[in-house]
A and B are shown apart, each in its own frame.
Chain A
Amino acid sequence: MDKDTLKKEIREFIVDTFLFGEGADSFTDTDSFMQTGIVDSTGILEVTGFIEEKFNFSIENEEMTPVNLDSVDNLVTFISKKVNG
């Protein structure tokens, strides 16, 4: 999956799950989910569950970090690295 498609899928998931399908333009790809308040710590578990199921890999405990999971761009980079090795 190319990065643009990946980004689109992540955005769709975030907007559908946490914003009731509204306000897709209310956050940028680099905005922190936590700092903008879109996703809280429980929501991060929802994000990780989505990623693990959708992309069929396990996220290790040490990978549960903001650097990997706390923005659309961070997720794209993390998933690409995991999927492509």
Chain B
Amino acid sequence: MEFHKDVLNIDAEKVCDTICTQIRSQLKNDMHKTGAVVGISGGIDSSVVAALCVKALGPKRVFGVMMPEKDSADESKSLAEVLAEHFGFDTTLESIYDGCEGLGVYNKRDEAIKQVFPDYQPTWKSKIITPTNLLEKETFNFFTVVVETDTGEIREERLPLKPYLQIVAATNYKQRLRMTTLYYHAEKRNWAVMGTGNKDEHMQGFFVKYGDGGTDLKPIAHLYKIQVFQLARYLGVPKEIVDRIPTTDTYSSEVTQEEFFYGLDFYRMDMLWHAMENNVPKEKAAEVLDLTVEQVERAFYNIQRKITATEYLRMEPLEIKG
């Protein structure tokens, strides 16, 4: 196949029509639901999904739920409001902060961070990140916890297994609380919960099983992130949302999706992944992306490893055969 710099450019109108037709058909024929509930975070993915739902169903059959908590950025709510006003659908604000407090989410996370930094204080900011040099060196995707003290001092340490798992388990509560909140609003209307994950998140496992992965329909799970940006522009998603740098919006220190999970900018990652999926020769991918063959090999290895390692997340509950 031909591989060039614009190979992932889409015919946004056509893609949009296909998605909208299937949203209508799947809601009506497969689920017998009459509308769509979308968790809106002011990020590009949920904004595109909400816009697609409005286009497919009309604004009266779309309901947006904003679900901030202690570590959410202030602009997440304000941008979600801008989105809802722009596309004319109703919303509600459901803070999950009390739920997180009640379940001990922050205490459990802080307890894990203290295993690495014994003097850690809950007033400090924190985030976890992965290596972002994956083109330069073949490395495992270990996590590093970064804390910012009250005086602004930045400290970081690689996470051993136990605190790493506890931090992830604690913060995953947030996505699972959001999922139950969305189902409350969907079930009381007999509507469906829409997933907002793109192909990068879905296939590389950047989602929480039964959290943001727990939905009825995933309208953009087949689109690379850079294609979601194209769709956003076509749909007229407000510029401030399109221009916002994608973050996890889960940790008290802002952490981009690139440093948290992917280790590469979206354009190169999506292009490399596309090349890998379509058996484009490594030499050709390297030439088009201005990389060395070794860098392409490292990226292929890293992407494939993430896809394989996260199969569990996409797996339905297994049954005993026999």
Contact = CB atoms under 8 A, between A and B. Distances in A.
B138 A41 contact: no
A72 B137 CA distance: 21
Contacts of A49: 160-162
A3 B308 CA distance: 32
Given A34-B305, A61-B131, A41 B161 contact: no
Count class of interface residues, chain B: 10 to 19
Nearest to B168: A42
Interface string A22-49: 0000000000001001001110111011
A64 B161 contact: no
Given A64-B140, A66-B140, A41 B309 contact: yes
A5 interface: no
A44 B139 CA distance: 11
A65 B142 contact: no
Interface string A44-56: 1110110010000
A19 interface: no
B138 A66 contact: yes
B86 interface: no
B305 A61 contact: no
B224 interface: no
Contacts, number: 46
Contacts of B256: none
B140 to A, nearest CB: 5
B68 to A, nearest CB: 29
Contact of B144 (A42, A52, A61): A61
A66 B305 CA distance: 12
Interface in B273-322: 305-306, 308-309
Contacts of B140: 41, 44, 64-66, 69
B305 A65 contact: no
Contact of A64 (B139, B160, B164): B139
A46 B165 CA distance: 11
21 contacts: A34-B305, A41-B140, A41-B309, A45-B142, A45-B159, A46-B161, A49-B160, A49-B161, A52-B160, A61-B131, A61-B142, A61-B158, A62-B139, A64-B139, A64-B140, A64-B158, A65-B137, A65-B139, A66-B138, A66-B140, A67-B138
Interface of B: 131, 137-142, 144, 158-162, 164-165, 305-306, 308-309
Given A41-B140, A41-B305, A49-B162, 8 more contacts: A41-B306, A41-B309, A44-B140, A48-B142, A64-B139, A64-B140, A66-B138, A69-B140
